[in-house]
Structures are given as structure tokens and as C-alpha cells.
């Protein structure tokens, strides 16, 4: 059984932990900045955009999508399926893309 750590060993451990905490903080700040950039791009693009979940529920829309569909975010996000906004002629194809994306992301078209 190992004995109690010395003061120097404890001091070294504290320094190591402080260094790790500093790295974690910088990573957290970088992630926050990237999230803000993503949010800005998502919101300011001239294209109507949505983010859909595995079960077809819309989790996020941008202002362009609000203008296009006439619904507010509160009416859409977490409540409506993206399939509700697709014309019948395209619905089966879009569902096929969605199912393909859930099984093999690389096989499905990136944008549709």
C-alpha cells in the first residue's frame, strides 16, 4: 500500500489539474464562439432552413423558414414534422432520403 503523498507531490498534482482546467476552459470558450458563428450563419442566410430530428420532428428553424411557411418558431419547433411542409409529389422521395440518412449519412444527398 502506498504511503501518503508528500506536499511536493500534492503541489505537482494541483499544478497539473490547474493546467487541465485551463485547457478545458479554452476549449469551452472556442466551442461557444463556434456555436455563435453557426447560429449567425443559420439565422442570416437567405435560405429557409430547418434542422430535423431522427423522427422527422423539426427541432430548429430560421427566420427564412418562418417567412416561407407562415408559422412562428413556437408553432413549429418540437411540434411539427418536416413532412408537413413537403408537396405530395416529393414526399416519398424525401422520406426515402431521410431514412437513408438515418442508416448511412454518406449515401443520402447532403441537401434536399
Per-residue pLDDT of 23-41, as tens digits, reads 999 999 999 999 999 999 9
Summarize the chain as % helix, strand, coil (round to 5).
60, 10, 30
Look at residue 111 in the predicted model and tell me its pLDDT: 80
pLDDT of residue 31: 97
* pLDDT at res. 38: 94
pLDDT, residue 50, reads 93
CA distance 73 to 29: 28
Q: What is the pLDDT of residue 112?
A: 78
The pLDDT assigned to 26 comes to 96
As a residue count, the chain comes to 112
Q: Are 57 and 81 in contact (CB under 8 A)?
A: yes
Q: Quick one: cell of 95? A: 422520406
Residues of the chain with pLDDT under 50: 1
Amino acid at each position: 500500500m502506498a504511503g501518503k503523498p508528500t506536499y511536493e507531490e500534492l503541489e505537482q498534482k494541483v499544478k497539473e489539474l490547474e493546467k487541465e482546467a485551463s485547457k478545458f476552459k479554452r476549449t469551452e470558450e472556442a466551442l461557444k464562439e463556434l456555436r455563435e458563428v453557426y447560429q449567425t450563419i443559420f439565422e442570416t442566410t437567405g435560405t429557409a432552413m430547418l434542422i430535423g430530428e431522427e423522427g422527422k420532428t423539426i427541432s430548429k428553424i430560421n427566420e427564412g423558414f418562418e417567412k416561407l411557411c407562415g408559422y412562428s418558431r413556437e408553432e413549429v419547433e418540437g411540434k411539427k414534422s418536416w413532412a408537413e411542409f413537403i408537396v405530395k409529389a416529393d414526399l416519398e422521395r424525401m422520406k426515402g432520403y431521410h431514412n437513408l440518412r438515418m442508416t448511412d449519412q454518406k449515401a443520402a444527398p447532403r441537401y434536399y
